[in-house]
Amino acid sequence: MENFLFLSLYFIFALLTIFVILIGRQRIQYIFKPLLIPLLIMYYIFNVPLLEVNWFIVAGLTCGLVGNVFFMHLEEDEMFYHGVLAHILGYGFYIFAFFGYFVEFPSFHLWKLLLFLPGFSIVVFILYQIRGDYEIVKLAMIGYIIGVFIMYIISIFFLPASQGGDFWLLWLGTILLLLSSIVIAINKFRKDIPHTEALFLGIFYFAQFFIIEAIIITTLMS
């Protein structure tokens, strides 16, 4: 019952956050946004046995919370830089967590190469968009993209060994994170995208949910 409550509140607050941003009531987002990741953490913890909770996942989500707080000020380079670093650290925790589920080297399937291509194409597109002078903010953004892409590769070749719903949820979650990177990169380094923050958050919150749901299913199946 508690897990359903946490998940319901997560999506309700996510929609409210995006809505208040779209209508220009930016300050109201400070009420809902800090609650979202803690709700997802509670949803995760209440869905798996306590001894099976992967604290790298919890740490990764917490870093995502910090990063999103900094991203409330996308127009400021320093805030953007710290937000990117927080997300990079979070993706590092995710990568460690993923390898915790890695038992043996998975068998290679040619069809997995087809899943590799969309993510690789997105990375090439983003790097093309931010080409030019590589100041510290751009280098941080490249690190962010590399972190997400490593997660994407692991989702295809390592976690999980099955090809069930958990596999596709994880793959979908990581590719959505790459798509959210496009929004941030183009808006920051090329041209303004209307409703950037709302678009980024909409993609990001669904991505995080899919990843956590995949981890929950994998944990319960193991």
**pLDDT of the residue at 109:** 67
- Supply angle C-alpha 188, 193, 195, rounded to 5: 110
Alpha carbons 182 and 42: distance in angstroms, whole number: 29
**pLDDT of the residue at 103:** 52
Cα 13 to chain centroid, rounded? 17
Amino acid present at 64: G
Task: Please report, for residues 3, 20, 156, 218, 219, the alpha-carbon distance to residue 49 in angstroms, rounded to integers and kept in the order given.
Answer: 13, 36, 26, 12, 9
Tell me if the bond preceding 160 is cis, omega within 30° of 0.
Answer: yes
Tell me how long the chain is: 222
Q: Is the pLDDT confidence value at 184 over 80?
A: yes
- Give the DSSP letter string of 133-196: ---HHHHHHHHHHHHHHHHHHHHHHTS-SS-SHHHHHHHHHHHHHHHHHHHHHHHHHT---TTH
- List the single range of 21-30, 105-114, 146-155 with lowest mean pLDDT: 105-114
**Cβ contacts of 46 within 8 Å, gap of 6 or more:** 2, 3, 6
- Give the DSSP letter string of 40-90: HHHHHHTTS-GGG--HHHHHHHHHHHHHHHHGGGTTSHHHHHHHHHHHHHH
Q: Is the pLDDT confidence value at 1 over 70?
A: no
- Write the burial class of residue 72 (CB in 10 Å: 0-12 exposed, 13-18 middle, 19+ buried): middle
Alpha carbons 215 and 151: distance in angstroms, whole number: 13
pLDDT tens digits for range 36-87: 999 999 999 999 998 889 999 999 999 988 988 887 776 677 788 888 889 9
pLDDT tens digits for range 82-120: 888 899 899 999 988 887 766 555 555 677 778 888 999
